[in-house]
Structure formats: structure tokens, C-alpha cells
Structure 1
Amino acid sequence: MKIYSCETHIGHALDMFVATEKEVPIMEKVEEEEKLSTKCSYCDEQATYIVANK
């Protein structure tokens, strides 16, 4: 599972990941070259973080 999140929705993304996957996620920053094309999973803002399991 991979969730893209902006600064505003990072708490929600972490909560949803734990509720769905039942494990602690890895949170990484979106690479600079990917920022322009990567949107938050919850709104139309640019994603700042990737919440994933591997």
C-alpha cells in the first residue's frame, strides 16, 4: 500500500495506513523531481510525503 500525502493530510494518511495494514508505515519525502506530478491522495495539493510499507 502506498499513500501520497500533503502536509495537511499526513496525520490522516498515517491513521488510514495503520487501520488498513495493521503495521507501522514508513514515511518518506517525495523526491523533488516527482513533486510536480504527484498529487495528495485526499486533495489536489502537491504530495509532500509517501506513506508505505516497503
Structure 2
Amino acid sequence: MIYCCKEHIELALDTIVDEYETFPVMTKIDVDNLSTSCEYCRNVAIYIVANE
């Protein structure tokens, strides 16, 4: 599972495909309830990209 901002969504999708060889599932986060940072930078994460 990867938390990412809008700028890094493509990188997160590619990472899931490369690591798990499966179609990634992208879920938008309710930003008001969560203050998680992007795993690639310090921006607020907007999406969760996972392999399930």
C-alpha cells in the first residue's frame, strides 16, 4: 500500500504493477480526516494505491 499525492500517482501505480504484477487499486482519501504524507515527498497524500 502506497500513500501518494496527485503529482506522484503515476509513480505509485507503476510501483505496484512492477512489484506485484497485478492491476493496482487506487482509492481517494478524505483529506479532512487523514493527514498522511506522500511516500515520495512531503505533500499531503490524496490517494492510496494498493494491490488489492
Tell me the TM-score normalised to structure 1 length: 0.87
Moved segments of 4+, more than 4 Å: none
The 5 A counterparts of 1:1-54 are: 2-32=1-31, 33-34=33-34, 37-54=35-52
Letter in 2 for 1:50: I
Runs of 5+ consecutive residues of structure 2 not aligned to the other structure: none
State the distance in 1 between where 2:12 and 2:50 align.
10
CA-CA distance at 1:53 after TM superposition = 1.9
Residue 19 of structure 2 aligns to which amino acid in structure 1?
Answer: T
In the alignment, the residues of structure 2 paired with residue 8 and residue 42 of structure 1 have an alpha-carbon distance, to the nearest angstrom, of 9
Number of equivalenced pairs = 51
Q: Percent identity?
A: 45
